[in-house]
């Protein structure tokens, strides 16, 4: 098996990394400067900038003097690192053996890849690699050759894609500068009239070594068409991170969404190459003032589609209001293995989990995050103690079908949240000869505070004046209590939701809890039916009566 290598080369890697998310700037004069240097000097420039003599080494004022429209961008080591991660991840989709040779230069060992070994397939394969890399917003070159060095020279000295067929002919045609001689040797060779590698090799290895010394041997080795060095293979990092600095700061949603779309496109492509899926997105917005906005957005199920990732971000950003302008955007993705499942025929599943999550997000924005979800009862005896959790219908326990049992279930009621304050008369009731209830003693009313609340305009509409009657004598608190505590029952209720004498009742159900923690609670619950047929759930807490629920 003849060896075969490919080199993926990104010319002006630092500049390309800086402009990766703004490809439109390639047509404008842009210079890249390194802010880490003592004097900021140009380290890269676009063709439009080079056309007006903005070249490497110029100080920033000099560059601006040559081109008034020049855009100066700072070098971003973090951005270069992210770009390199992206390159490795994309390249891993083409070959498992990759060497991170230099910034912006990857060497791929293609031995064992049967689809590439056919000569007729090599060019198409190299073009696919270039297309995949260019989709990251980069302008790449790809070279394929029998040795790592041949592939590197093919990538460096070609326009876009080059596959070395005749290695000797290819290397011979290259200019001598391709071998990167020192300036001294390059000057000597120029004086000799040696312009190409072929002319250099024709002079003979021994004779050149006699005249130029050891460097000649090194140049010969560089021009070798058979020498294969071992690659220092690396694994692509499972790290997905993109960031962007806004200059000037942005206050609207569109620029954020625009960049988020680019980031998710990049993530999607890289996930595809690695055969992974995204599980969680971590969004960070750096604000002009105040703390950063950080949000972890968990995907409903692992996904690698750009649309699914983007919609998750869009739903969150559309409902977000920040206190200050945004100066930086950072997006990380937590990868995981894609989930494979086989659903049963009758299983109820969410058809589109991402749409489901998006709708939940919109509902949360509309009614509040604490008001949407599946209810779960709290571990408490207190009535109406529950919390809402994120729905998980696919893993919800199944329920046995027992329609007959449902018919015997207790009558459900309509909860009042918050409970309606009520005025309740308590006393001992006795059944008269006509099977009607009469109160012989009334010993408890609401506290004066609650009465005041009831008489407020909001609650006063349903309140009726409780005139003493023969059946319901007036309260006499000082009257000796004839009945024991256990015999006293609600006799009359008055509230905004229902009022009237109580015809039937059930209870009391007394509950208490947390008394051992100093925050104890206690409540007494009665289910009563008024003479109008309204069924209510009356609850007394700390001497205050409320209507907690109504049968409807």
Partner 1 sequence: MPEASNIVDLRKLLAERFGQAVRPRKTIMPEAVPTGIPTLDSLLEGGWPKGGLSELVGPGVGSGVVQVLHTWIRQTASEGQFLVLVDAGDSLDVDALEPRVLARILWVRGRSADEALRSADLLLRDRNFPRVVIDLKPCSTQALGRISSSIWHRFRRLTEQHGTTVVVLTPQPLVSGASCRVQVSAGPDAALETLRFELVRSGILQGTQARQMAG
Minimum gap (Å) between residue 417 Cβ and partner 1: 5
174's CB contacts (< 8 A; 6+ apart) are 153, 157, 196, 197
Q: Rule CB under 8 A: is residue 279 a binding residue for partner 1?
A: no
Q: Does 346 bind partner 1 (CB under 8 A)?
A: yes
CB burial class (10 A; 0-12, 13-18, 19+) of residue 529?
A: middle
Q: Which position among 225, 305, 383, 475 is part of the footprint of partner 1 (CB under 8 A)?
A: 383
| Residue in 247, 292, 347, 506 binding partner 1, rule: CB under 8 A | 347
Work out how close the CB of 368 gets to partner 1 at its nearest, in angstroms, rounded to a whole number: 8
Q: If we measure between CA atoms, which residue out of 183, 212, 179 comes closest to residue 197?
A: 179
Closer to partner 1 by CB, 183 or 345: give it: 345
Phi, psi of 3 (to 5 degrees): -70, 150
How does strand 277-287 pair with strand 293-303?
Answer: antiparallel
Question: Is 68 a binder of partner 1 (CB under 8 A)?
Answer: no
* Nearer Cβ to partner 1 (296/402): 402
d(CA 182, CA 190): 12
Say whether residue 350 binds partner 1 (CB under 8 A).
Answer: yes
Within residues 384-403, the interface with partner 1 by CB under 8 A covers 384, 386, 388, 391-393, 396-403
CA angle 172, 173, 177 (to 5 degrees): 90
The CA distances from residue 58 to 6, 25, 49, 51, in Å, are 35, 20, 12, 14
- Measured CA to CA, the distance from residue 393 to residue 414 in angstroms comes to 25
Q: Assess 217 for contact with partner 1 (CB under 8 A).
A: no
Per CB under 8 A, does 369 bind partner 1? Answer: no
Show the site string, 408-447: x = touches partner 1 by CB under 8 A, - = not: -xxxxxxxxx------------------------------
* Among 122, 154, 159, 162, residue whose Cα is nearest residue 139: 159
At residue 431, the 3 state secondary structure works out as strand
How distant is the alpha carbon of residue 353 from its chain centre?
A: 15
Give the CA radius of gyration of the chain: 40
- Shortest Å, Cβ 359 to partner 1: 4
Assess 258 for contact with partner 1 (CB under 8 A): no
- Candidates 102, 376, 452, 482; binder of partner 1 (CB under 8 A) is 376
The residue from 102, 173, 366, 369 that contacts partner 1 (CB under 8 A) is: 366
* Binding residue for partner 1, selected from 26, 356, 445, 521, defined by CB under 8 A: 356
Is 457 a binding residue for partner 1 by CB under 8 A? The answer is no
Q: Are 501 and 531 in contact (CB under 8 A)?
A: yes
Burial class (CB in 10 A: 0-12, 13-18, 19+), 49: buried
Mask 473-512, x = binds partner 1 (CB under 8 A)?
Answer: ------------------------xx--------------
Size of the residue set binding partner 1 (CB under 8 A): 56
- Give me the sheet containing 240-250, strands edge to edge: 240-250, 326-336, 277-287, 293-303
| Contact residues: partner 1, CB under 8 A | 346-348, 350-352, 355-356, 358-359, 362-363, 366-367, 371-377, 383-384, 386, 388, 391-393, 396-403, 406-407, 409-417, 497-498, 533-535, 549-552
């Amino acid at each position: 098996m003849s060896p075969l290598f490919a080199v993926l080369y990104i010319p002006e890697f630092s500049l390309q990394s800086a402009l990766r998310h703004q490809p439109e700037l390639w047509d404008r004069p842009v210079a890249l400067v390194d802010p880490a240097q003592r004097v900021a000097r140009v380290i890269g420039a676009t063709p439009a900038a080079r056309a007006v003599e903005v070249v490497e080494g110029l100080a920033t004022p000099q560059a601006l003097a040559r081109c008034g429209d020049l855009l100066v961008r700072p070098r971003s080591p973090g951005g270069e690192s992210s770009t390199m991660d992206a390159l490795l991840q994309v390249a891993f989709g083409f070959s498992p053996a990759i060497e991170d040779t230099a910034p912006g230069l990857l060497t791929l060992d293609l031995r064992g890849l049967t689809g590439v070994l056919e000569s007729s397939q090599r060019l198409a394969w190299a073009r696919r690699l270039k297309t995949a890399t260019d989709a990251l917003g980069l302008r790449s070159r790809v070279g394929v050759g029998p040795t790592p060095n041949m592939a590197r020279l093919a990538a460096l000295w070609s326009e876009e894609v080059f596959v070395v067929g005749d290695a000797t002919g290819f290397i011979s045609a290259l200019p001598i500068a391709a071998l990167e001689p020192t300036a001294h040797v390059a000057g000597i060779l120029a004086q000799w009239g040696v312009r190409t590698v072929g002319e250099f090799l024709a002079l003979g290895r021994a004779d050149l070594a006699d005249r130029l010394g050891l460097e000649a041997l090194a140049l010969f080795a560089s021009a070798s068409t058979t020498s294969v060095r071992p690659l220092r293979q690396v694994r692509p990092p499972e790290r997905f991170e993109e960031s962007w600095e806004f200059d000037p700061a942005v206050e609207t949603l569109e620029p954020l969404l625009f960049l988020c779309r680019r980031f998710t496109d990049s993530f999607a492509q890289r996930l595809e190459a690695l055969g992974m899926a995204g599980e969680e997105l971590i969004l960070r917005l750096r604000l002009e003032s105040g703390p950063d906005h950080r949000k972890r957005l968990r995907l409903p199920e692992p996904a690698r589609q750009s649309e699914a990732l983007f919609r998750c971000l869009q739903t969150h950003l559309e409902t977000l209001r920040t206190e200050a302008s945004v100066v930086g955007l950072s997006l990380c993705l937590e990868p995981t293995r894609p989930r494979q499942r086989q659903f049963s025929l009758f299983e109820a599943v969410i058809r589109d989990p991402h749409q489901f999550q998006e709708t939940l997000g919109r509902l949360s924005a509309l009614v509040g995050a604490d008001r949407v979800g599946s209810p779960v009862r709290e571990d408490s005896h207190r009535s109406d103690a529950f919390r809402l959790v994120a729905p998980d219908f696919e893993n919800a326990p199944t329920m046995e079908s027992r329609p007959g049992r449902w018919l015997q279930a207790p009558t459900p009621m309509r909860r009042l949240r918050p409970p309606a304050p009520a005025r309740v008369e308590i006393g001992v009731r006795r059944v008269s000869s006509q099977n009607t209830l009469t109160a012989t003693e009334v010993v408890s009313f609401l506290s004066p505070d609650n009465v005041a609340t009831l008489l407020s305009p909001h609650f006063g509409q349903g309140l009726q004046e409780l005139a003493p009657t023969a059946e319901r004598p007036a309260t006499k608190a000082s009257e000796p209590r004839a009945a024991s505590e256990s015999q006293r029952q609600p006799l009359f209720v008055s509230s905004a939701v229902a009022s009237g004498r109580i015809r039937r009742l059930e209870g009391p159900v007394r509950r208490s809890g947390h008394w051992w923690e100093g925050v104890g609670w206690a409540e007494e619950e009665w289910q009563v039916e008024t003479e109008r047929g309204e069924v209510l759930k009356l609850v007394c807490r700390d001497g205050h009566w409320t209507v907690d629920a109504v049968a409807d």
